[in-house]
Structure 1
Amino acid sequence: MLNIMELQQILPQEYPFLLIDRVLELDEGKRIVAIKNVTANEHFFVGHFPGLPVMPGVLILEAMAQTAIVLYAKTKHVDKNMVRYYFAKAEIKFKAPVVPGDVLQIEVEAEKMLSTGGILKAVASVEGKTVAESVIGFSVKNIREDKT
């Protein structure tokens, strides 16, 4: 549905911090499913952990947040150069490790979507097994109005 080139036009993050590779499903205003192909040569595996590579939980959360941004941006038709996203709430539970060779699937559902932000539920899974669950709250500010 959306490939990496299209995601680069939507997300403010850039390599090496772009943490989703493709959107598989998108129902604007409601739901999105994205994937991250986790490879052995990811930069974060260098030190996390030597001899036992595990994707850091904070980066799983970041992948969830990026997926949420895509859902919001596609729903509200937002230009990435015109807004800033502020994630203020993230309740997350980690259930299993993510390792090289895994395909991390992220499903995000909108609980509330406003012009100024939203609250979303996110579930990350590998081969159908839940590895993390989160509730994410964020606000959106127009760059012209944002003085921070």
Structure 2
Amino acid sequence: MLTCKKSYRDIPFAHRQHHHNGHCALIHGHNWAITLTFACNQTDENGFVLDFGKVKYLKKWIEENLDHACLFNESDPEKDALLQQFGHLFKAYTLPSCSCEGLAEHIYHVFDPMVRTQTNNRAWITEVEIDEDSKNSAAYRPT
């Protein structure tokens, strides 16, 4: 198996951890990074695991859904009220968990099928790493 990595850096978006008993319960933002590890058993005709010039669909998804967005946990009890009253002031994205760990898993489940489709199942994602600013990160690897 061969692998390669692609990173998307300095993606500004906000989130909040409504169960947290400290300042993370407040809406706050970071400059995030998403690093994807791709794998294949057979390279393409160029000898690439994945042609980085042909993954613009991933960048587009990030720009449309995460860039300058506010992420909410599906279970956030304030989410619906915030969206109803202030939803016109920000772009919202809801997922099961907007922690680094939850975002890494979510991105995997969104991006892996896209990569498999675009490469006719020749390549796939083996890991998604999320950096929350430069100090904290989490990764998801499917089992």
Q: Same fold (TM over 0.5)?
A: no
**What's the TM-score once normalised by structure 1's chain length?**
0.31
Larger Rg: 2
**What's the TM-score once normalised by structure 2's chain length?**
0.31
Structure with the largest fraction of strand: 1
Structure with the largest fraction of helix: 2
